[in-house]
Structure formats: structure tokens, C-alpha cells
């Protein structure tokens, strides 16, 4: 069914749900699981060192990488082949680019509840991905799982 699954992970509750769903599918399909962390560096204030010091961005990158590597080790012990990657930039662009690079056939993202103003300014990562992806997209929510038990 699926051979390469990409999970976009940034440590939020929504990405934890995406991680669980992606791992369930990878286990059931014997697929390779790719954990993609994005350090968001898009947006005017984020690029200005007066507002966000470079050291803070580097610390976020290191923490995210360490977290993904820890998760990959656990999944590896469970028999799931797992790869990790960290990218800098806009989440929707980096996810789409990575998926194309590795020829993934499924992307899994978490659903976060944003207010109207946040959606107006930032849009929805899922909506942007629907325009760019050439694979299936699963938007995971924290409800009852219909996944197979492996």
C-alpha cells in the first residue's frame, strides 16, 4: 500500500497525533517512516536577529533533531525503519520539497485548531500542501483510531 511515509513533526500535540498515526501505518504497511522536522524561519520578524537571536534558532534545531533521533531509535526497536531530517523554512514548502526528493507516497500532518485571524495571516499548511503534493495526505486528528493493530 504505502512504501514511504513522511510525518511532519514539531513537538506540538497535533504533531504527536500525526506521529502516532504515521507509525501505525508504517508498521501495518511495512513502510519506511520519515520524520521531518521544520525549523520555521519564514516571516519578517523571524529573519531579523534583533527579534530572534540566531542562538535561539540553533537551539530549536538541536532540540528538534535530538527529539526526532530519540523517536527514531524507539521505532527502530519496534521494527520500523525510520529516517530523520531537519529543514529550515516555511513548513508547507519544506514538506512538499522533501516529499518530492524522496518520492514519498503519503504525508501525515497533525490538525491544529487556529482562529480565523491566524488562518487569514498564515493560511493552513494542509490547504497549501493539497495544492503542491503529488502523494496522498492524511490530516490526523486526536480521535478514535481506526488503524490496524500490528
11: left (phi over 0), alpha (psi -120 to 50) or beta: left
> Is residue 105 a contact partner of residue 135, using CB atoms and an 8 Å limit?
yes
CA dist list (Å): 120 to 20, 95, 127? 29, 21, 12
Mean pLDDT by groups of 10 residues along the chain of 150 residues: 95 92 97 95 57 81 96 96 95 92 95 51 58 86 52
pLDDT of residue 105: 96
Domain boundaries 4-102+116-140, corresponding CATH code: 3.40.50.620
Cα separation, 52 vs 89, whole angstroms: 15
pLDDT of residue 65: 96
Domain spans in the chain, listed from the N-terminal domain onward:
4-102+116-140
Amino acid at each position: 500500500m504505502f512504501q514511504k511515509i513522511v510525518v511532519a513533526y514539531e513537538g506540538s500535540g497535533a504533531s504527536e497525533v500525526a506521529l502516532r498515526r504515521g507509525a501505525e501505518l508504517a508498521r501495518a504497511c511495512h513502510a519506511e517512516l520519515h520524520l521531518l522536522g521544520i525549523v520555521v524561519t519564514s516571516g519578517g520578524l523571524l529573519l531579523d536577529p534583533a527579534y530572534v537571536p540566531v542562538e535561539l534558532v540553533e537551539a530549536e534545531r538541536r532540540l528538534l533533531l535530538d527529539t526526532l533521533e530519540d523517536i527514531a531509535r524507539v521505532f527502530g526497536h519496534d521494527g520500523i525503519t525510520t529516517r530523520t531530517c531537519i529543514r529550515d523554512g516555511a513548513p508547507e514548502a519544506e514538506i512538499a520539497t522533501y516529499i518530492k526528493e524522496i518520492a514519498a507516497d503519503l504525508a501525515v500532518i497533525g490538525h491544529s485548531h487556529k482562529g480565523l485571524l491566524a488562518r487569514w495571516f498564515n493560511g493552513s499548511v494542509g490547504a497549501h500542501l493539497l495544492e503542491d503534493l503529488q502523494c496522498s495526505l492524511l490530516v490526523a486528528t486526536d480521535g478514535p483510531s481506526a488503524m490496524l493493530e500490528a
